[in-house]
Amino acid sequence: MPPRPERSERLSVRRGRISRRSFLGTTAALVAGPLAAPRIHASDKAGSRLPAVGQGEHTYECQHDWGLDSLPAGAHYGNASHGVTIDESGLIYITHYGDPGSIFVFDADGRFVKSLGDFHQLPAGQDKRSARGHGIDIRKEGNEEFLYLSASDAALDFVKINLRGELVWRKGKERLHEDSGRYLPGVAYRPTNASFSPDGGYFLGDGYGSNLIHQYDRDDKYVRTIGGTGEADGQFRTPHGQWLDDRDGVPKLVVADRANQRLQWFDMQGRHLQSLGGFLFPADIDVRGELLLVPDLHCRVTLLDKDNRVIVHLGDDEAWRAEALEGFKMRNQRPRWQPGKFVHPHDACFDRDGNIFVTEWVNTGRVTRLRKVS
């Protein structure tokens, strides 16, 4: 059975200097008051008639189902397209619940290159396998880039691989308990995403399991665990995604605390700094220059400025959201999807030119390239 949203999810009506998906190495309150209404209109650049979302200098042309036509025979996203990251050469990596492997790789023009990650599949019958590709993040370490993968299944591990798909290490529930002492019998484990610290360390997030984030240093040694289940500052209800936020020059961990409908910031010692509400179901985070990007599972993608004030909610439409979230049925009803509208944005990242790639938690998968037009 494909994973269903948590009960809280079903009830709720979610490359510049540094980029979440191309990592090379306080916050102000959300401003209240009405925002200028984002536009959804047609673009006729280069003769196309594609919808566009946004406003002013943050206007983007929606190229839905980017790369889909180039998938080879038999390849498919299955129940969902989940994560996205981009390497230095411009290759785009998409995690999924389909076949083959758990990662599809495309070039910048949307041409399929290869599949990776068959270690994040589970037997689902005699002749078929079921992928569990979820979180994917990339970092250059020395002269080589590595992918950090978080499979969405309790039987699978956090994994680090090189771009050839070769395993560097894997960490499962037993290893995390050995390090942290947090996984006694009965404690849930189901990882969602990883992120990086500027000293070469990293964070491993158990967003669907125990609501914990585990910190490791550059030598792969356990440092600490933050979080736990709850609504107080420093606690989480589905810390689904995370990233390094150093837009003001001070590195901080920012967490998409999804079911609590907020972002939370922590210093590199794990101390809570600030919480910021005003979100619906924030799923992940990326940073480019002064911009912070938040894909929201509830039908929109948000851009914040350097002071964490909302610039624009891309694709925001209250009537559409009410329709799309009714029983989460629309994720399985592709004929009802509308151009310029999001269903369930699950991850998003900037490319080197400021375009945005959005992956959605929908059956058959959908990748949208938001081409920056102004």
Residue 222's closest CA among 264, 171, 267? 171
| β-sheet bridge partners, residue 85 | 93
Question: For residue 358, what are the contacts with CB-CB under 8 A and spacing of at least 6?
Answer: 84, 295, 301, 342, 345, 347, 348, 367, 368, 369, 370
Architecture of domain 7-372: 6 Propeller (2.120)
Which contiguous run of DSSP H or E holds residue 239?
A: strand 239-245
Which contiguous run of DSSP H or E holds residue 321?
A: helix 318-324
29 pLDDT band, cuts 50/70/90, is very low
Between 129 and 167, name the one with better pLDDT: 167
Quick: pLDDT tens for 323-339.
999 999 999 999 999 99
pLDDT at 23 over 60: no
Write down the pLDDT at residue 77.
Answer: 97
Write down the pLDDT at residue 130.
Answer: 87
Residue identified by tokens 């949208």 is 368
Question: How confident is the model over 276-294, as a mean pLDDT?
Answer: 98
Quick: pLDDT tens for 122-132.
886 645 678 99
User: 3-state class of 168 per DSSP?
Assistant: strand
44 pLDDT band, cuts 50/70/90, is very low
In our burial notation (b when 16+ CB lie closer than 10 A, e otherwise), range 33-50 reads eeeeebebeebeeeeeeb
Instruction: Give the phi and the psi of residue 224 in degrees, each rounded to 5.
Output: -165, 170
Write down the pLDDT at residue 118.
Answer: 94
Q: What's the CA gap between 123 and 318, in Å, rounded?
A: 40
Write down the pLDDT at residue 21.
Answer: 56
Q: What's the CA gap between 244 and 373, in Å, rounded?
A: 27
pLDDT at 185 over 70: yes
Question: How confident is the model over 7-22, as a mean pLDDT?
Answer: 44
| 129, two tokens | 């396998």
Quick: pLDDT tens for 71-100.
999 999 999 999 999 999 999 999 999 999
Report whether 303 contacts 292 (CB < 8 A).
Answer: yes
38 pLDDT band, cuts 50/70/90, is very low
Q: What's the CA gap between 180 and 228, in Å, rounded?
A: 13
What pTM did the predictor assign? 0.89
Query: CA Rg, the chain, in Å?
Result: 19
Residue 131's closest CA among 157, 161, 168, 99? 99
Give me the residue spans of the domains in the chain. Answer: 7-372
Q: What's the CA gap between 247 and 270, in Å, rounded?
A: 18
Quick: pLDDT tens for 212-240.
999 999 999 999 999 999 999 999 999 99
| CA 41 to chain centroid | 26
Residue identified by tokens 């079903």 is 10
Q: What's the CA gap between 24 and 140, in Å, rounded?
A: 6
Quick: pLDDT tens for 171-181.
999 999 999 99
pLDDT at 199 over 90: yes
Quick: pLDDT tens for 92-148.
999 999 999 999 999 999 999 999 999 999 886 645 678 999 999 999 999 999 999
Write down the pLDDT at residue 51.
Answer: 96
User: 3-state class of 270 per DSSP?
Assistant: coil
Count the Cβ atoms, other than its own, within 10 Å of residue 94: 25
Q: What are the C-alpha distances in Å from 114 to residues 43, 111, 273? A: 32, 10, 42
Cis check: omega of the bond before 100, within 30 degrees of 0: yes
Average pLDDT of the chain, as a whole number? 89
